[in-house]
């Protein structure tokens, strides 16, 4: 082994992070966490109102506690308060909605009947962007530079779950041309918008995902999405569940 590599390895082995006790949550705490995950919905219908400042602070703090590759923390949140900016943002989304519909061919008419955003109705609109200067973050991204996007998605998921805990709805809108939105919001060169988040009070949560209720798509069985060792080899984790694919030990 090269002497420098050996030195770095030995130095790394001596680093021991500070720890806290690995205590499991209480049954009620665990139930609350899994309930938030289970009941989270991509909301499109909002009823105005407001999000109190202290609640918004908690939600953004939850987002900022997300994991990120190389601890790069690439997320930036822009709160859209100007009404005219909202209207222009809405127009950008509508323009892309039409383009998406045309690209869907036979499903164009079906798609145009779906409600895809609540920009003008939600109490808050947040635009999430990847920060500029991300190229300096190489740790974990040398071969997969898209991990900045994956990291920011973790922050969005945290915010989503926290919104459900607070009794608020949130919807992730991705129907926009990034360059046009970046220009609208004055993003610096290198920064890139990845999400428009509609956030606020709702009359209720969809009993099932809206797109499933409207027959756009259906939830896939988890047992068909988990493999052991090689792609397509059904996992033994679900071997005893009804409807699971057979486990082929010789696959």
- The predicted-structure confidence for 81-102, as pLDDT tens digits, reads as follows 999 999 999 999 999 999 999 9
Q: Which two tokens stand for residue 112?
A: 């145009």
Q: Please report the domains of the chain, with CATH numbers, ordered by start residue.
A: 41-205 (3.40.109.10), 218-251 (no CATH)
* Residue corresponding to tokens 């068909």: 224
pLDDT over threshold 80, residue 124: yes
| Cα distance between the two ends of the chain | 38
What number is the average pLDDT over the span 116-120? Answer: 97
pLDDT band at 136 (very low <50, low <70, confident <90, very high): confident
- The predicted-structure confidence for 19-66, as pLDDT tens digits, reads as follows 999 999 999 999 999 999 999 999 999 999 999 999 999 999 999 999
pLDDT at 156: 99
pLDDT at 251: 36
**134/49 Cα distance (integer angstroms):** 36
DSSP, res 70: G
pLDDT over threshold 80, residue 171: yes
The per-residue DSSP string of 182-213 comes to HHHHTPPTT-EEEEEEEEE--S---SS-HHHH
3-state secondary structure of 77: strand
pLDDT at 249: 45
Q: Please, which residues bridge with residue 195 across strands?
A: 128
pLDDT band at 241 (very low <50, low <70, confident <90, very high): confident
């Amino acid at each position: 082994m090269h002497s420098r590599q050996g030195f770095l390895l030995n130095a790394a082995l001596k680093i021991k992070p500070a720890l806290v006790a690995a205590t499991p949550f209480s049954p009620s705490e665990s139930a609350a966490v899994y309930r938030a995950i289970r009941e989270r919905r991509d909301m499109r219908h909002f009823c105005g109102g407001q999000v109190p400042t202290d609640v918004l602070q908690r939600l953004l703090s939850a987002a900022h506690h997300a994991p990120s590759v190389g601890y790069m923390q690439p997320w930036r949140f822009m709160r859209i308060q100007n009404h005219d900016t909202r209207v222009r943002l809405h127009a950008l989304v509508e323009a892309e909605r039409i383009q998406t519909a045309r690209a869907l061919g036979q499903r164009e008419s079906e798609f145009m009947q779906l409600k895809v955003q609540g920009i003008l109705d939600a109490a808050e609109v947040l635009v999430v962007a990847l920060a500029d200067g991300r190229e300096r973050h190489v740790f974990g991204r040398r071969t997969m530079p898209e991990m900045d996007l994956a990291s920011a998605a973790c922050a969005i998921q945290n915010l989503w779950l926290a919104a459900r805990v607070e009794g608020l709805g949130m919807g992730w809108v991705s129907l926009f041309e990034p360059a046009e939105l970046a220009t609208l919001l004055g993003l610096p060169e290198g920064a890139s918008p990845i999400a428009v988040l509609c956030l606020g009070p709702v009359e209720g949560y969809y009993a099932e995902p809206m797109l499933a209720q409207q027959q756009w798509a259906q939830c896939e069985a988890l047992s068909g999405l988990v493999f052991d060792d090689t792609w397509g080899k059904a996992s033994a984790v679900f071997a005893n569940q009804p409807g699971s694919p057979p486990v082929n030990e010789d696959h």
